[in-house]
Amino acid sequence: MRSWRTSSLRSRGRRIAALVLLLLASCVANLAFGAVSIPAGEVIAALLGRGEGATAAIVLYARLPRLSGCLLAGAALACAGAIIQGVLNNPLAAPNVIGVNSGAGLATALCCALAPGAVQLTPLAAFLGALAGVLLVLFISERAGAARITLVLAGVAISSMFNAGIDGVVTFVPDALSGYTDFRVGGVKNLSMARLAPAFWVILIALLIALSLSNELDLLLLGRETAQSLGLPAKWLRLALLMLAAALAGAAVSFAGLLGFVGLLVPHIMRRLVGEESFFLLLSSALGGGLLLTVCDLASRLIFAPFELPLGVVLSLTGGPFFIWLLLKQRRGGGGL
């Protein structure tokens, strides 16, 4: 038994190490390629402070903040999706599906309209909006019925209402969201390190807390009654984990807009790669989310170069077919839709 577990841990370790290497390679490619291609040596020199001229400026002030946004948003949304799917025991749940992203978007729009100079408050506002979205959808689905599709339908309805609210805010305060189209589609253009700083700390702290609660999340996956019989405060733990998911998704939305499908696509892939154990799932989801957004961002710049597709468009073209496949799989497998 011990040798089997050791072999399993080594296998997971190798797969996570492979993810890290792929992520590092994608980061270098993201910094090197675009409208202007920069040799890898000059990229590394710029990162070490030895670069000069326009190439160093492109790397440090245009591509590095963009890459950092991909890594942060990807890790946050993927881990939020893994937590939500586990807590709600619903493989179709994700931040963009159940109203978390749109709730965060509405709160961000209101914050920018009412306090345009308080950029540091947007992660907090986005968190409150995301939390309101997930709790509202959870309340409606529990009152309407326990079927998995009920949660999805409630999320679609709430997302539509929140998106209409965003449109209303922008109608009355057109300058509330700079680059409104980019915000609605989702993207990481025109970011700066200063703008990313508040969200970085929220995401880092939330990820560390989520990893520290991975054992409790494993027990919660056994069922609410089982967890309570083991002395776990299931109700409060469930709320705490949903709050962490809201903080992660809200912080990502505050600078990357309404990116979709990361929180749905990545956790499913990572479960096949490392299994169901929460610690490894959350860790690999953070790496996989950053990898997915980094690769999609690079593709958005290269597919129709020198023209650029919005990152959210590339994600939707990737995640939409996956969501349809997942729905069909759940239907064939009798998943309670």
Over residues 286-310, the pLDDT tens digits come to: 999 999 999 999 999 888 877 888 8
Q: Helix, strand, or coil here: 205?
A: helix
Between residues 166 and 121, the one the model is more confident about: 166
Q: Residue type at 76?
A: A
| Residue at token pair 């390190």 | 193
CA–CA gap between residue 170 and residue 187 (Å, rounded): 18
Mean pLDDT, rounded, for 150-155 = 76
Over the Cα atoms of the chain, what is R_g?
20
Q: Name the percent of the chain lying above pLDDT 90.
A: 26
- Residue 119 CB partners (closer than 8 Å, separation 6+): 195, 198
Q: Which two tokens stand for residue 35?
A: 């409208």
Q: Is the pLDDT of residue 153 over 70?
A: yes
Q: Is the pLDDT of residue 337 over 70?
A: no
CA–CA gap between residue 260 and residue 264 (Å, rounded): 8
- Residue 257 CB partners (closer than 8 Å, separation 6+): 105, 182, 183, 184, 185, 186, 187, 312
Q: Of 134, 4, 86, whose CA–CA distance to 278 is shortest?
A: 86
| Residue at token pair 């799932």 | 281
CA–CA gap between residue 292 and residue 306 (Å, rounded): 22
Q: How far apart are the first and last CA of the chain?
A: 37
Q: Are 269 and 288 in contact (CB under 8 A)?
A: yes
Q: Is the pLDDT of residue 6 over 80?
A: no
Mean pLDDT, rounded, for 70-93 = 90
Q: Write out pLDDT tens, residues 180-237.
A: 667 778 888 888 898 899 899 999 999 999 999 998 888 887 776 776 676 778 778 8
pLDDT at 323: 72
Q: Write out pLDDT tens, residues 84-96.
A: 888 888 777 888 8
Question: 336 pLDDT band (50/70/90 cuts)?
Answer: very low
- Residue 87 CB partners (closer than 8 Å, separation 6+): 217, 220, 238, 241, 242, 245
Q: Residue type at 162?
A: F
Q: Write out pLDDT tens, residues 9-68.
A: 788 888 999 999 999 999 999 999 988 888 888 888 888 888 778 888 889 998 999 999
Q: What sign for the dihedral angle of Cα 156, 157, 158, 162?
A: positive
Q: Which two tokens stand for residue 53?
A: 């001229």
DSSP 13-56: HHHHHHHHHHHHHHHHHHHH-SSS---HHHHHHHHTT---HHHH
pLDDT at 213: 92
- Residue 107 CB partners (closer than 8 Å, separation 6+): 125, 126, 127, 128, 129, 130, 132, 250
Q: Name the percent of the chain lying above pLDDT 70.
A: 89
Q: Which two tokens stand for residue 206?
A: 């939330």
| Single pTM value for the model | 0.88
pLDDT at 65: 95
Q: Is the pLDDT of residue 1 over 60?
A: no
Q: Are 129 and 119 in contact (CB under 8 A)?
A: no
Q: Residue type at 164?
A: A
Question: 146 pLDDT band (50/70/90 cuts)?
Answer: low
